[in-house]
Amino acid sequence: MTDDGENFGFERVSAAEKTRRVANVFRSVADSYDVMNDLMSLGTHRIMKRMTVEMSGVRAGDRVLDLAGGTGDLAALFSPVVGASGRVWLTDINAAMLERGRDRLLDRGLTNVDCVRGDAQQLPFADRAFDCVAIGFGLRNVTDKERALREMHRVLRVGGRLLVLEFSRPENPLVATAYAAFQALWPTLGGAVAGDAGAYRYLVESIAVHPDQRALKLMIGDAGFSDVGYENLGTGIVAIHHATRLDAP
């Protein structure tokens, strides 16, 4: 964190104020969150999440943490992979999002998923508790990203895998221009569908100020991870960062 505050979109606010405002954003959009994801990504977020699970190397019997998991898309994908002998923990700091995720998972009959309200910056889990930690489109909203990454490192077992699926920077200028024009529609769409244009204005701004692929790769390495890399999707509109905990302190 910096002394002059944190980014809430393009605005600089205190860390406490950012946390409060982000909570309000997701409380406001919880009921329409899944529909808006489909509209803004043209459905491709589902493919990206499947790719994240496939890259994780998770197997039957593993323990997986879906961090800042919102309405449970990743948890639902991990659930059949770990099977009856494994377990998935869906966590989110926002009670409204977590409640929606829990209900969706129960409706699908997924009984090997536990829902735990928790802060990514101070996880309520023991050291080396998980074989895999995944966070999908959630790191961008965390106030202290460095602290959260250190927590992810702490709760992973030695040899465990980290997957970070997040908006990033298109590396093709033509794609970047077209994508910016598409993003400009999101607040209007959010106002029409979710009744909250401001929440989706924040989304666009939060993507713009989030660390790009290379910067995030360095941050993950600084948190103690090894074998850090990333795969661009859509020339970098989204990237999947992957890393391993290899140390044993």
Three-state DSSP class for residue 138: coil
Summarised one tens digit per residue, pLDDT across range 222-245 is 999 999 999 999 899 999 999 999
How far is residue 11's CA from residue 162's CA, in Å, rounded to a whole number? 30
Summarised one tens digit per residue, pLDDT across range 8-17 is 777 777 878 8
- pLDDT of 136: 95
Sorted by where each begins, the domain ranges of the chain are: 6-244
- Note whether 146 and 222 are within 8 A (CB): yes
Summarised one tens digit per residue, pLDDT across range 206-227 is 899 999 999 999 999 999 999 9
C-alpha distances in Å from residue 118, one per residue of 95, 99, 132, 179, 221: 9, 13, 17, 33, 24
Summarised one tens digit per residue, pLDDT across range 83-124 is 999 999 999 999 988 999 999 999 999 999 999 999 999 999
- What SS3 string covers 73-126? HHHHHHHHHHCCCCEEEEEECCHHHHHHHHHHHHHCCCCCEEEEECECCECCCC
Which of the 8 DSSP states describes residue 71?
T
In angstroms and rounded to an integer, the radius of gyration of the C-alpha atoms of the chain is: 17
DSSP secondary structure letters along 207-247: HHHS--HHHHHHHHHHTT-EEEEEEEEGGGTEEEEEEE---
- pLDDT of 115: 96
pTM over 0.85: yes
How far is residue 57's CA from residue 44's CA, in Å, rounded to a whole number? 21
CATH class of 6-244: alpha beta
